[in-house]
């Protein structure tokens, strides 16, 4: 919050800007902190679960384990899980991209969410690591967002050829 006030030489027309210091944030109560800790555990566990679900779906598909109840993999994820085609394959593809980037993550820079991984799905497999490193470099000191990954990945995606 800022307000303007006249300086000491009020007749000169100069103004000074007074900026108030940010107020300290109130500490959480012990009950609130316990609740936050519990919820953060769920949130952070969800990322791991998301990747595990994608890997499990890929195995069900690849090993044709759906055939005990369903005629097709599509019937399995649609009827058994209630997933749309795009969601089922985003889970699978994102888990695959995550595995490919795992060696990079071991060095400290790994994707933090599915949206970042999704931006690398259409990058050819052999160029995903390079695209990810480019995104990290492009972000610099700023937080790495899916938009930054998208922009970095553009130069690695195959060019679309349109008929004349």
User: What's the pLDDT tens digit per position in 76-89?
Assistant: 999 999 999 999 99
- Specify the pLDDT at position 120: 94
- For tokens 């800790």, name the residue: 37
Whole-structure pTM value: 0.64
Question: Among 88, 159, 148, which residue's Cα sits nearest to residue 123?
Answer: 159
Q: Which of 92-106, 110-124, 139-153 has the lowest mean pLDDT?
A: 92-106
Question: How far apart, in whole angstroms, are the C-alpha atoms of residue 62 and residue 92?
Answer: 11
pLDDT at 65 over 90: yes
Q: Please report, for the chain, the start and end positions of each structural domain, with discontinuous segments joined by +.
A: 41-156
For a pLDDT cut of 90, what percent of the chain falls above it?
46
Contact (CB, 8 A) for 90 and 118 = yes
Angle at the Cα of 158 (from 157 to 159), degrees rounded to 5? 115
Say which residue, 39 or 160, is predicted with more confidence.
39
């Amino acid at each position: 919050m800022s307000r303007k006030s006249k300086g000491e030489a009020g007749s000169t027309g100069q103004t000074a800007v007074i900026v108030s210091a940010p107020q300290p944030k109130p500490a959480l109560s012990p009950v609130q902190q316990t609740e936050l800790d519990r919820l953060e555990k769920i949130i952070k566990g969800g990322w791991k679960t998301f990747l595990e679900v994608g890997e499990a779906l890929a195995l069900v598909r690849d090993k044709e384990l759906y055939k005990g109840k369903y005629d097709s993999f599509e019937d399995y994820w649609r009827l058994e899980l209630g997933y749309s085609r795009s969601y089922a394959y985003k889970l699978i593809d994102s888990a695959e991209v995550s595995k490919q980037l795992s060696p990079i993550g071991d060095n400290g820079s790994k994707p933090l969410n599915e949206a970042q991984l999704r931006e690398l799905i259409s990058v050819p497999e052999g160029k995903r690591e390079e695209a990810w490193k480019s995104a990290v470099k492009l972000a610099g000191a700023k937080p790495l967002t899916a938009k930054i990954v998208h922009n970095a990945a553009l130069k690695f995606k195959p060019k679309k050829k349109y008929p004349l």
